[in-house]
Amino acid sequence: PNVELAGHVIGFVGRDHIGLEGLEVSQDLILRGHSGTLPGTKDARGQIIYTHGLPAESPPQGYSMRLTLDKRIQYIAEKELKKTVNDFEAKSGVTVVMEPKSGELLAIGVYPSFNPNSFSSYGPSVWRNRAITDAFEPGSTFKIFLAAAALEEGLVDPNDLFYCEQGKYRILNHTVHDLKKFSWLSLEQILRFSSNIGAVKVAEKLGQNRFYHYVRTFGFGSSTSIGLPGETAGLIRPADEWSPVDLAAASFGQGLSVSAMQLAMALGAVANDGLLMRPLLIKEVVDGQGRVVR
């Protein structure tokens, strides 16, 4: 009813009323209900005559779902996402708005968008919900989880200093660079100035096994079980396959891949005193009389 709004989440059905994308396919059995057959004949005008009398009751109807999405927030998120993608001449973009305490998703925006009422005018590349199907290198956003791991292990304090090599740090046959030449930075400053070399120094102190443990504990490398089709788990290689260069790259979010939904939920855990929530999209299921059945 709202044309493109939340189209990637809601999805669509085919001509046979069977779900093909989004919640329409993942929750198809709940939404569709059961069909029934009643014997009858048609008169010359095409009207049905029930030869065995009127049906005693209509076939069971499907249930309805109330989502956690906030229509106003969803509209603003999609509008700003479209503007940002166009401003930076990007090919696509996603946005996720989530309430950290409950895990309730208030908006999931994907651009380019499409109208589920006329889905055949687009194509599979536009239909997919990139917030859960696409994996990408998270980049410097990953430094947050590195810092959390080091703090949790008691290896560093926010004010501990790390020498950042004046912008160049060689690891085996690779050189890590910073955008600016930094000398000594605290952990807090490493995050503030997004120093790659500083992140590498913290990761070296933490070690690949402990860092890998926290990466997985934050939910990366596993499905979030959001209940939408095509969700990616991303790619986090086992710690015993990491070289010193792999550890360095992982410290600033390269050499591994995550989904936007995983990233949003992991950041929500930081805001939620370390408690990682499961994303909540379906708030309740109701029957035809509006009674909550789940």
Instruction: Spell out the per-residue pLDDT of the chain, length 294, in tens.
Output: 899 999 999 999 988 888 899 999 999 988 887 666 667 788 888 788 877 766 666 555 789 999 999 999 999 999 999 999 999 999 999 999 999 999 999 999 999 999 999 898 998 889 999 999 999 999 999 999 999 999 999 999 999 999 999 999 999 999 999 999 999 999 999 999 999 999 999 999 999 999 999 999 999 999 999 999 999 999 999 999 999 999 999 999 999 999 999 999 999 999 999 999 999 999 999 988 889 999
| pLDDT at res. 46 | 77
| pLDDT at res. 92 | 96
For 66, the 3-state DSSP assignment is strand
| pLDDT at res. 43 | 83
pTM for the model stands at 0.87
**121 is a catalytic site residue:** no
| pLDDT at res. 244 | 96
- The residue from 64, 140, 194, 223 that is catalytic is 140
Which residues does 10 contact at the CB level (< 8 Å), separation at least 6? 22, 23, 24, 116
By the 10 Å C-beta count (0-12 exposed, 13-18 middle, 19+ buried), 32 is classed as: middle
Which residues does 220 contact at the CB level (< 8 Å), separation at least 6? 234, 236, 256, 258, 262, 266
Q: Are 200 and 252 in contact (CB under 8 A)?
A: yes
Which residues does 242 contact at the CB level (< 8 Å), separation at least 6? 208, 212, 250
| pLDDT at res. 266 | 98
**What gap in Å lies between CA 255 and CA 77, rounded to an integer?**
29
By the 10 Å C-beta count (0-12 exposed, 13-18 middle, 19+ buried), 8 is classed as: buried
